[in-house]
Structure 1
Amino acid sequence: MTQPIGIGGLRAAALGGIRATGTTPGALAGQAMTVLANRVAGTLTRELGLAQGARAPLRPGDAYDTQGVARTLAAALGAAPADAGRLSRALNDFTGEVAALIAASPTSDVLDRLSGLGYALFDPDGRPGMTDTDHACVAIETAIFQLREDPNRTAR
């Protein structure tokens, strides 16, 4: 039996597990993902009637302000316009993956998966010549990959 998501208290804090402390590109990307995951989880659980709270109308086009978060991340990294576009696409993909995961299975297990993303997200060495944007995109892509893995699959 699964239990419904509760957005208050410990569960809301659990989503913060994506965030790494610091100002490295991976840590900044983690902070951006935390903001987006919290927005998605809060909105979807309220819309599905699984959490208390007023339902705020969704903004047309960019309901979770993914573009605003991407602009903030790009500014923090000093990204060029083309790199800002890459960050925006990566965060859009991440937000879509989180929304699909929560909508498909609105249980506390999903929040546990989101909170566990902080483990093994970042490659501190990277490849030679990687920019800060490259490091941030790798962190986001790693999170998406981990979200797409089937947690119920057993190793053979």
Structure 2
Amino acid sequence: MTQPVGIGGPRFNAISAVGQTGTTPGALAGQAMTTLANRVAGTVTRALGLAQGDRSPLQAGDAYGIEGVARDLAATLNAGPADAGRLSRALHDFTSEVASLVAASPTSDVLDRLSGLGNAPLDPDGRPGMSDSDKVIATIDSALFQLREDPTRVGR
């Protein structure tokens, strides 16, 4: 049986496993995804009344601060405008998927899935000539693929 999310509990803290410390492209992607996953989980579960804390409604626009995270990541990677836009879109897609998962099923199982992203290698080998921005986007795309997998499918 799945239990409602306890934001102050150990399940919420497990989300931090998504991120890594360091300055490799994979670690930077993990840090950005951790920040956004934590914001989504906290905001949505508070809005649904499943956790203590401020229950202010979600605001239109950039409710989770995705653009700020994308700007910081692009600056760290010295990304040009085109790559900055690609990073922003990738983080928006990731955040949208996390928000959908948490809103659809605000249980500890969902937080386990988010924390399980840390078990996958976050640094793709990459093809020759792949920029750090390309590697970060590949890492985010890999995390999206994992989140979109059906957890109930046979063989898992």
Q: Which of the five TM-score ranges fits, normalised by the shorter chain?
A: over 0.9
Q: Structure 1 stretches of 5 or more lacking a match?
A: none
Q: Equivalent residue for 1:153?
A: 153
Residues 82-139 of structure 1 show CA distances to partners (whole Å, capped at 9, x for unaligned) of 0000000000000000000011111000000000001224244211110000000001
Q: Equivalent residue for 2:140?
A: 140
Q: Equivalent residue for 1:38?
A: 38
Moved over 3 A (4+): none
SS of residue in 1 equivalent to 2:60 = coil
Q: Does 1:94 align with 2:85?
A: no
State the shift of 1:21 in Å. Answer: 1.9
Query: Percent same amino acid at aligned positions?
Result: 72
State the shift of 1:10 in Å. Answer: 1.3
State the shift of 1:50 in Å. Answer: 0.5
State the shift of 1:13 in Å. Answer: 1.5
Alpha-carbon separation, structure 2, partners of 1:142 and 1:32: 14
Q: Equivalent residue for 2:128?
A: 128
Task: Give the total of aligned pairs.
Answer: 156
Alpha-carbon separation, structure 1, partners of 2:85 and 2:2: 38
User: What is the TM-score with the length of structure 2 in the denominator?
Assistant: 0.95
SS of residue in 2 equivalent to 1:150 = coil
Q: Structure 2 stretches of 5 or more lacking a match?
A: none
State the shift of 1:26 in Å. Answer: 0.9
State the shift of 1:46 in Å. Answer: 0.3
CA RMSD of aligned residues (A): 1.3
Q: Equivalent residue for 1:11?
A: 11
The one-letter code matched in structure 1 to 2:12 is A
